[in-house]
Amino acid sequence: MRITKKQTLSAVIDRIEDGVTAVLLVDDTKAELHVPLQDLPLGSAEGEWLLVELEDDVFVSARLDVEKTEEVRARVRKKRSLLLERMARGRRDRS
């Protein structure tokens, strides 16, 4: 009997190369997974988070993690807004 190691990991689509391969960065380790774009959920795009299923460290499937994608985007929007406010204050202080 063969024992397989199954796991579900959180990963972000870092980039899409040549329109055919998605490079995923695994959340905890930042390890790269190269996955055919056609094996990801329809409409997958850079910056979206996925729940990736692996079996014996081999990609099996993925599903969109809409909640985490929205969380991260909201955090980035907030940081960007704070940065823009600081930049605007800096310009006013120099005038």
Q: Distance between CA atoms of 32 and 27, rounded to whole angstroms?
A: 10
Residues 6+ apart with CB under 8 A from 1: none
Q: For the chain, 95 residues long, give each residue's pLDDT as a single digit of tens.
A: 677 799 999 999 999 999 999 999 998 788 999 999 999 999 899 999 999 999 998 999 999 999 999 999 999 999 999 999 888 887 777 76
pTM: 0.81
The yes or no reply on domain 6-94 and CATH 2.40.50.140 is yes
- Residue boundaries of the structural domains of the chain: 6-94
Strands (E), 1-95: 6-17, 21-26, 32-36, 49-55, 58-64
Q: Among 35, 83, 86, 85, which residue's Cα sits nearest to residue 61?
A: 35
Q: Distance between CA atoms of 93 and 70, rounded to whole angstroms?
A: 35
